[in-house]
Amino acid sequence: MQKREAKYTTKLQHWIRKNLPAPCVYEVKHTRGKRSFPLRELSTHQRAALLSATTEEGFTFKIPDCGYTNPFDGVLFGSMNAYVIIKFPDITTVIPIQRFEMIETPSLSQEYAMTLASYVIK
């Protein structure tokens, strides 16, 4: 699953650079070929980090030292847009985290995701 997600995320980054307002943060998820997304697949710490990045106080992250030259030690994200990007079989939806948090069902259908999305990629 992670290889597929990584491959698509690399392709998606080109679209993101051209279409999303910078700065922003995002988490990419896949539906594994299904037309619904179980909300439990966006973990609690991911939700918290995305929401925190939208606040004035922000979210800080220490970049791990992994033996290669890091551009810097850490980042502070704040007062920016944050998105949950979900790749369904036919489309990809870009949903602001605040709208994602309003979902009250255990899973998100492709149709409902389209109504919440700021962007739909075909």
* Ranges of each domain in the chain: 2-17+25-121
- Over residues 58-112, the pLDDT tens digits come to 999 999 988 778 899 999 999 999 999 999 999 999 999 999 999 999 999 999 9
Distance, C-alpha 62 to centroid of its chain: 19
Cα–Cα separations (whole angstroms), residue 112 to 19, 100, 107 = 22, 11, 10
Mean of pLDDT values over 24-49: 96
Percent of the chain surpassing pLDDT 70: 96
The DSSP annotation for 3-59 comes to HHHHHHHHHHHHHHHHHSPSSEEEEEEE-TT-SEEEGGGS-HHHHHHHHHHTSSS-E
Q: What is the DSSP letter of 102?
A: T
The pLDDT of residue 2 is 66
The pLDDT of residue 8 is 83
Q: Is the pTM of this model over 0.75?
A: yes
- Over residues 70-85, the pLDDT tens digits come to 899 999 999 999 999 9
